[in-house]
Structure 1
Amino acid sequence: MAIALVTGSAGLIGAEAVRFLAEKGLDVIGIDNDMRAYFFGGEASTGWSRSQLENTLGNRYRHVAADIRELAALEPVFEQHGDEIVLVLHTAAQPSHDWAAREPITDFTVNANGTLNLLELTRRHCPEAAFIFTSTNKVYGDTPNRLPLVELETRWEIDEGHAFHANGIDESMSIDGTLHSLFGASKVAADVLVQEYGRYFGLKTGVFRGGCLTGPGHSGAELHGFLAYLAKCALTGKAYTVFGYKGKQVRDNIHSHDLVNAFWHFFQAPRPGEVYNIGGGRHANCSMLEAIAMAEKITGKTFNWSYSEENRIGDHIWWVGDISRFRSHFPDWSLQYDMRGIMEQVIEGQQVRLADAQ
């Protein structure tokens, strides 16, 4: 029996991965204690997602409600199944740089210590397994804000003469000498640990530095889940606040299925210690203003939003990741969802959950 162990298994990427891997014939053990509800409140709980996985996958999925900060809670899973675990997919995290400032110790122990626990248990019990980590573009801190940016009507854009213009920001950008936010710092620690376990111990580790990860299964909240929360506000008329940069800040967006498919390609032919920027790239990106306009067009509703001139600390003005490196290593992988397709699916997912809540 081949087992994939997925942390954050009821979250957006985790749940997508659980279904994907089960369809590929793997049994899946999910580790998730719904800390998202603690971070962002009951509306962000992933309990509904856990129930859905258990109800639809049956004995192909086993859920473990463990805290990744607690080595003693994780070790029995690895001890019992180490010989069968072929993949450790680590998606669990505290994901908000705003929230991290409220409880820095919680943020760091979840993101950094939790990752170290999983790496060490993998090394001890299943060293031949692939280890995939969902990092973040926030490891680059606010260095992207130093790029030569041009203000256009609905967005900021990088100057056409810059090397990053054609494809976006690649992995050559330094992660040093920059304001990361505490969240960014904790993810840097985890990111470097994953690389080191690949390079020093030879584990089959891969680091994926994502932009905005999204999809219909996202439990969006104001502090995390850009498109999902925007879609929820578009459908309900709830007030939405845009923070800084005239609403023209740009993000690339990748559909959860496209990201998990990238993980699958890496799992098939892992390259130890590799780091990849991963996201929608030039194929799927938008500014806040463009996302609002798109949501209004799809829903047929006027969006209720306001503007605050104070931007979030360490927030990017323009992020479009260059995914050329991953494509060159795995040429059979490609993005299936463009920006419009992503937005339609996110809105549809929010419609379903709002209807279920009534």
Structure 2
Amino acid sequence: MSGRWIVTGGCGFVGSNLAASLLDDGVEVVVLDTLVRTGSSENLAWLRERAARPGAGRLVHLACDTRSRTDVEHAFARFGGGAVAVAHLAGQVAMTTSIERPRYDFEVNVLGAFNVLEAVRAHAPAAAALFSSTNKVYGDLLGVRHEEGPTRWLLPDHPHGLDEAVPLDFHSPYGCSKGAADQYFLDYHRIFGLRTVVFRHSSMYGGRQYATYDQGWVGWFCQQALRQRAEARAGRTPEPFTISGDGKQVRDLLFAADLVRCYRLAAAAADRIAGRAYNIGGGPEQSLSLLELFSVLERKVGQPLRFERLPARQSDQRVFVADGRRAAAEFGFAPEVGVEAGLDRTLEWLERSGR
């Protein structure tokens, strides 16, 4: 594969996995990342090791803050020419942070996306421009009929999950900021002809994710399961972790390797799918509630999990499961890694990395 990729947030979870895949195939990757997130420096070191392998692509790292028009303009003036794809993955991704720091959330997610789009328009107008949006653009989904089951909330009218016809309904500063960027990306195709594609992601997990309490819930609970097992083996009573709500909230899970395939397939198909938004996730077959995840983790780590319930979070959807049929039909993407295998690989990475 020839051509250069520019990846904003390229030392984060999604970005580092995407960059590694490209480097392994000999593609030049320009990573824009300020390295402020936990784990980003470690991910950059990992990418540099990949880039040093025989046959790997060239890696360039720029400490570019997408909130800065000057930073972004300089980066794209240097590297936009010859770029075949731009993946805009830099963002503020925690709902709680958006409520605590709404201006920061706006500047990172809206202004950052706008600066990237303007730089693409000026310096890389032929590149595929891919944006990592979120299911939160659909709001609380209280207008969708829910049923409560023993371990999960259900969507009886949507056996394939929720498709892109669900009305947009931005809730929370995070939903508003990501939704605004989502719409800017789509409109820059309509108005300026850019080859933009938007992915409205459900939950993502896998290696290189340095999860925290309020971001990366699958990785976070995997960490807690390993911690409680270690405490039990040391003869201590495991310290309980907390969850928000009843634990029956459901998301579909997409493993990192599948996520990377999604971006690469879409970039290759950008001429056909430009200006489109896609719901991207593991689908109904790869969906779990928190309670169901805990049951799986208890089996895998051989340790009962102890947790305490807190009140439900604001704007926390009871269920989001992506209907991926449009993505499958239009650019050939469908998940391949099942939850059992994906969780095994995630736990293995966490143990190797000492998380």
Shorter-chain TM-score above 0.5: yes
Separation in structure 1 between the aligned mates of residue 47 and residue 26 of structure 2, nearest angstrom: 15
- Aligned match for 2:44, one of 43, 50, 61: 50
- Aligned match for 1:77, one of 51, 56, 75: 75
Give the corresponding residue for 1:41: none
**Secondary structure at 1:5's aligned position in 2?**
strand
Separation in structure 2 between the aligned mates of residue 203 and residue 78 of structure 1, nearest angstrom: 15
The AA in structure 2 aligned to 1:248 is K
Partners of 2:23 and 2:50 within 8 A in 1: no
Give the corresponding residue for 1:307: 309
Separation in structure 2 between the aligned mates of residue 204 and residue 256 of structure 1, nearest angstrom: 24
Give the corresponding residue for 2:353: 353
Q: Tell me the alpha carbon deviations over residues 306-351 of structure 1, each in whole angstroms, 9 at most, x when there is no partner.
A: 112x1111001011110111111023x3311111112112211211
- Aligned match for 2:172, one of 168, 178, 181: 181
Separation in structure 2 between the aligned mates of residue 329 and residue 204 of structure 1, nearest angstrom: 15
- Aligned match for 1:172, one of 143, 152, 165: 165
Determine if the alignment matches structure 1 residue 62 to structure 2 residue 64: no
Post-superposition offset of 1:145: 3.0
Post-superposition offset of 1:56: 2.3
Post-superposition offset of 1:304: 2.5
- Aligned match for 2:88, one of 73, 87, 90: 90
Number of residue equivalences: 338
Determine if the alignment matches structure 1 residue 121 to structure 2 residue 119: yes
Separation in structure 2 between the aligned mates of residue 336 and residue 281 of structure 1, nearest angstrom: 11
Query: Which moved further from structure 2: 234-243 or 167-176?
Result: 234-243
**TM-score of the aligned structures, taking structure 2 as reference length:** 0.92
Post-superposition offset of 1:17: 0.5
Q: Which runs of 5+ in 1 are unaligned?
A: 37-43
Q: Tell me the alpha carbon deviations over residues 210-233 of structure 1, each in whole angstroms, 9 at most, x when there is no partner.
A: 000111221000010111100111
Give the corresponding residue for 1:24: 25
Separation in structure 2 between the aligned mates of residue 35 and residue 239 of structure 1, nearest angstrom: 29
Q: Tell me the alpha carbon deviations over residues 193-240 of structure 1, each in whole angstroms, 9 at most, x when there is no partner.
A: 000111111100000000001112210000101111001111112532
Give the corresponding residue for 1:269: 269
Separation in structure 2 between the aligned mates of residue 189 and residue 109 of structure 1, nearest angstrom: 12
Separation in structure 2 between the aligned mates of residue 24 and residue 75 of structure 1, nearest angstrom: 28
Post-superposition offset of 1:83: 1.8
Separation in structure 1 between the aligned mates of residue 126 and residue 61 of structure 2, nearest angstrom: 23
Give the corresponding residue for 1:318: 319
- Aligned match for 1:192, one of 172, 183, 186: 183
Q: Which runs of 5+ in 2 are unaligned?
A: 229-238
Partners of 1:196 and 1:273 within 8 A in 2: yes
Separation in structure 1 between the aligned mates of residue 80 and residue 249 of structure 2, nearest angstrom: 44
**TM-score of the aligned structures, taking structure 1 as reference length:** 0.91
Give the corresponding residue for 1:298: 300
Give the corresponding residue for 1:156: 153
**Secondary structure at 2:192's aligned position in 1?**
coil
Determine if the alignment matches structure 1 residue 234 to structure 2 residue 225: yes
The AA in structure 2 aligned to 1:323 is G
Q: Report the identity percentage.
A: 32
CA-based RMSD of the aligned residues comes to 1.4
Give the corresponding residue for 2:250: 250
Separation in structure 2 between the aligned mates of residue 239 and residue 120 of structure 1, nearest angstrom: 47
**Secondary structure at 1:266's aligned position in 2?**
helix
Partners of 1:135 and 1:210 within 8 A in 2: yes
**Secondary structure at 2:285's aligned position in 1?**
coil
Partners of 1:54 and 1:62 within 8 A in 2: no
